[in-house]
């Protein structure tokens, strides 16, 4: 009988927690009639993409730098792009490549960079897969394991651990979405580049 009541209590607690979590994530994804058109329930909405971008711009302004920001949905389609004044074409392109790397690998673009730096892969090999071996791209994840998009930030000179394009993205997502996983460590090249 005790097990029955314990099971009933667990079920009741889960019923109370689950709707609250779903409601919280609802504000970050497309909902309503738009989901019927796209037949997708987990696509980042424009309001969230814009909020993340604006938060990243605020961080860049605090540092006295300029950045370009690209946000893709989980399928790699563009949702939002922002270029601060004075950003060259290469900064915009690298932001796009970093976000695309996240979509391809489902992990921070720094993971690809670390594979190259540690000699486990070559930059050419990564490029052949459509990946850019540079930090500055992060997955946009809600509910612990649902990727709803990818952000790529480019255009500023890194100064770790105080500043980098990746730190800009991480701080912006923390501000908008809440706590984010820790960033991957910065590593140094440990071996000659793989052929």
pLDDT (tens digit per residue) in 138-162: 999 998 888 999 999 999 999 988 9
Q: Of 2-6, 14-18, 51-55, give the range with the top mean pLDDT.
A: 51-55
pLDDT at site 127: 93
For the beta sheet containing 146-154, the strands, ordered from the edge strand earlier in sequence to the opposite edge, are 78-83, 68-73, 146-154, 137-142
pTM of the model: 0.81
Residues 6 or more apart from 37 whose CB is under 8 A from it?
A: none
Average pLDDT over residues 59-69: 98
Structural tokens at position 172: 């912006």
pLDDT in tens, 74-131: 999 999 999 999 999 999 999 999 999 999 999 999 999 999 999 999 999 999 999 9
pLDDT band for 52, please (50, 70, 90 cuts): very high
């Amino acid at each position: 009988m005790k097990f029955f009541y314990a099971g009933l209590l667990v079920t009741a607690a889960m019923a109370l927690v689950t709707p609250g979590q779903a409601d919280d994530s609802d504000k970050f994804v497309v909902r309503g009639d738009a989901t019927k058109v796209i037949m997708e329930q987990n696509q980042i909405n424009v309001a969230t993409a814009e909020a993340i971008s604006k938060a990243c711009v605020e961080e860049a302004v605090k540092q006295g730098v300029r950045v370009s920001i690209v946000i893709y949905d989980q399928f790699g389609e563009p949702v939002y792009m922002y270029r601060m004044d004075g950003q060259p074409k290469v900064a915009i392109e690298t932001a796009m490549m970093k976000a695309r790397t996240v979509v391809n690998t489902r992990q921070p673009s720094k993971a690809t960079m670390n594979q190259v730096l540690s000699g486990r892969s070559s930059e050419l090999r990564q490029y052949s897969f459509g990946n850019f071996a540079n930090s500055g791209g992060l997955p946009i994840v809600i509910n612990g394991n649902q990727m709803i998009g990818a952000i790529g930030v480019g255009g500023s000179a890194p100064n770790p651990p105080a500043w980098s394009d990746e730190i800009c993205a991480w701080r912006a997502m923390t501000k908008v979405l809440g706590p984010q996983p820790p960033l991957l460590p910065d590593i140094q090249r440990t071996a000659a580049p793989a052929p």
